[in-house]
Structures are given as C-alpha cells and as structure tokens.
Amino acid sequence: MNTDGLPDWVNWLAQDADGAWWGYEAEPNQQHNGWYENEVGRIVKLGHAAPPADWVATLVRRLR
C-alpha cells in the first residue's frame, strides 16, 4: 500500500478479507472478516485490491 497522499491523521492501515483498504486514525477493532473503527477517530476508504491470503496480518501502524 502506497502511503503517499494519505491524510496526516491516518495512523493505521488495514485490508479487509474482501480486499478493501482502509485508513484509521485510532487502532481499529477486528471483526469476523475485516476491521472497523472503534468509535474513536476517523476512517477513510483507500481503495481496493486482490483479497489477501491473511487479512488479519495486514493491520499496520503507519510510520512517518
């Protein structure tokens, strides 16, 4: 995932089982097939790619 051009507030990146990429301000919570915001902070859809083999492993903290 290319992080160029992301809003400054995006601190976490994750991909759902269906291939959707999301940016989160606060660390998201895991659900049965993806991630969801934890009612704190903002969220933005970043795009869509091929579904990952292990979507749980896609959650990463954004480094600047």
pLDDT per residue as tens digits for the range 14-41:
999 999 999 999 999 999 999 999 888 9
Domain boundaries, the chain: 12-61
Give me the chain's average pLDDT, please.
93
Mean pLDDT across 44-55: 96
pTM for the whole structure: 0.90
Q: How far apart are the first and last CA of the chain?
A: 14
Whole-Å CA distances, 4 to 10, 34, 57, 62: 11, 23, 21, 11
